[in-house]
Amino acid sequence: MKRETEATVQPRSRMLCRPWPLAAAWLAASWVFPACDGDDREPALLAGEDVPAGDVEPADDVPVGPVRAAIDVLFVVDNSASMAQEQEVLSRALPEFLRRLYAEAEARGVEADVHVGVTSTDAGTAGYAVTTCGEPDGGDRGCLLHEPSPLFAGCDPGYPPFLSRSSADGAAYPIDELADDLACVATLGTQGCGFEQPFGAARRAVGEAAAAGGCNEGFLRPGSAVAVIYVSDEDDCTVAEDHPEMFDPERTDLGHLNVRCVLHRERTTAVAEEAAALRALEAAGHVVVVGAIVGVPVDEPACTGFGDELEGCLASAAMAERIDPVSPSELVPSCNTAMGLAFPPRRFVELAQAFGDRAYVASICVPDYKDLLVRLAGRLFSSP
């Protein structure tokens, strides 16, 4: 059901127009949109206007890779207590992301068939009772969550495990209505587990849960382009299976639960193994891209960009993991803005580096997430 949204921005005529590159030339799915002299607005697609198919063409110097008609998008959303504002900002960016996705396909003469689903960062606590973690045995198990959010008016009473829309649906299921439905299921609230394990949640969601008989059966299609997009204000803390003691509240020798993963990185999964788990999809014929809207510092250019551009990020002073001397159960934040606090996402940066130019990292501490989402939409149509 379509919720009440802001009035649609009506397209206006443009005269004396010149080419305006939407992204840098090295972006594999860069496009050129018209923009009039003296008009410094965002391109129409990002401003929420209807863009005719003829206005979207690949840049001449950008190679077009094999087209994938099936596109499967997984959002892994942190639903811990500090994520209310961030989930709201994410919901506002979804229409632009989806418009760009379908425009990319249309420019290539493809009818995009999109599946989009959402899971949380709750992967359980190995059976230990941990405050805020209501399902100690496996958490949400990587299953796609589809209960309508009570925070939005107009949501349907229920949704399928994942949303789906083909370009052929056209006006029968408008893109903005899909975005509204996605906001209804992606706004998970803030009552979730504070022991965030997004890598483990994603691995299950596209692995065992997506297999025949799993809770996500049918979500992944053979040969699809797959996007895994993480949204979290804390770093990944996926604990290795042979270290369940990390969840034991009585193991005070391991430090406070909030900082155990920093104090005992050797007891978390190796980032290389998490990257390999996603790479296994490529071996099965998928194209995989990774996005991370996480706590990289806003004022550190080396920490925003594609994975092969983040070489200096981990050396940034703001990315150092330091226990807060005033509050020993917390880390010193890596960014602190009107959006709130976030903490050094070193493991996310390492994962992005493993995927090179097929991953993009942006800060969760900014009030707009469109840039990352739009760039990832383009990457889904580029060669691996």
Q: Exposed, middle or buried: residue 185 (CB in 10 Å: 0-12, 13-18, 19+)?
A: buried
Angle between helices 84-107 and 175-186 (to 10 degrees): 150
| Rounded alpha-carbon distances, angstroms, from residue 116 to 86, 102, 289 | 19, 13, 14
Q: Which residue has the higher pLDDT, 205 or 7?
A: 205
Total Cβ atoms within 10 A of residue 81: 12
Question: Do the beta carbons of residue 111 and residue 70 sit within 8 Å?
Answer: no
Question: Do the beta carbons of residue 193 and residue 119 sit within 8 Å?
Answer: no
pTM of the model as a whole: 0.84
Question: Do the beta carbons of residue 82 and residue 359 sit within 8 Å?
Answer: no
Mean pLDDT, range 20-41, rounded to an integer = 30
Beta bridge partners of 57: 32
Any idea what the CATH number is for the domain that residue 295 is in?
3.40.50.410
Query: How would residue 69 be classed by pLDDT, with cut points 50, 70 and 90?
Result: confident
Question: Do the beta carbons of residue 133 and residue 125 sit within 8 Å?
Answer: yes
Query: How would residue 379 be classed by pLDDT, with cut points 50, 70 and 90?
Result: confident
Mean pLDDT, range 349-359, rounded to an integer = 97
Does a structural domain hold residue 40?
no
Does a structural domain hold residue 124?
yes
Does a structural domain hold residue 22?
no
| Rounded alpha-carbon distances, angstroms, from residue 164 to 105, 168, 223, 364, 382 | 15, 12, 17, 27, 22
> Would you state the pLDDT for residue 378?
86
Please report the beta strands in 103-162, taking only residues with DSSP state E, as ranges in sequence order. Answer: 113-120
Determine the structural domain holding residue 166 and report its residue range: 70-379
Give the pLDDT confidence of 159-189 residue by residue, as tens digits.
999 999 999 898 999 999 999 999 999 999 9
- Give, for 317, the enclosing helix (H) or strand (E): none
Tally the domains of the chain: 1
Does a structural domain hold residue 327?
yes
Query: How would residue 16 be classed by pLDDT, with cut points 50, 70 and 90?
Result: very low
* The token pair that represents 215 in the structure block: 């809770």
Does a structural domain hold residue 23?
no
Does a structural domain hold residue 2?
no
* The token pair that represents 87 in the structure block: 């989930």
User: Mean pLDDT, the chain, as a whole number?
Assistant: 85
| Rounded alpha-carbon distances, angstroms, from residue 157 to 95, 171, 252, 311, 331 | 21, 22, 44, 46, 40
Does a structural domain hold residue 138?
yes
Q: What share of the chain has pLDDT > 70, as a percent?
A: 82
Nearest to 348 by CA among 214, 186, 230, 266: 230
CA–CA distance, 64 with 155 (Å, rounded to integer): 38
> Would you state the pLDDT for residue 293?
98
Query: How would residue 380 be classed by pLDDT, with cut points 50, 70 and 90?
Result: confident
The tally of CA atoms less than 13 A away on the side-chain side of residue 102 is 27
| Rounded alpha-carbon distances, angstroms, from residue 158 to 93, 102, 124, 367 | 22, 25, 25, 29
Is pLDDT at 104 greater than 50 in this prediction?
Answer: yes
Is pLDDT at 10 greater than 50 in this prediction?
Answer: no
Does a structural domain hold residue 230?
yes
Give the pLDDT confidence of 235-287 residue by residue, as tens digits.
999 999 999 999 999 999 999 999 999 999 999 999 999 999 999 999 999 99
Mean pLDDT, range 136-146, rounded to an integer = 97
Question: Do the beta carbons of residue 136 and residue 128 sit within 8 Å?
Answer: yes
Total Cβ atoms within 10 A of residue 338: 8
| Rounded alpha-carbon distances, angstroms, from residue 42 to 142, 233, 280, 312, 373 | 36, 27, 38, 30, 15
Give the pLDDT confidence of 185-214 residue by residue, as tens digits.
999 999 999 999 999 999 999 999 999 999
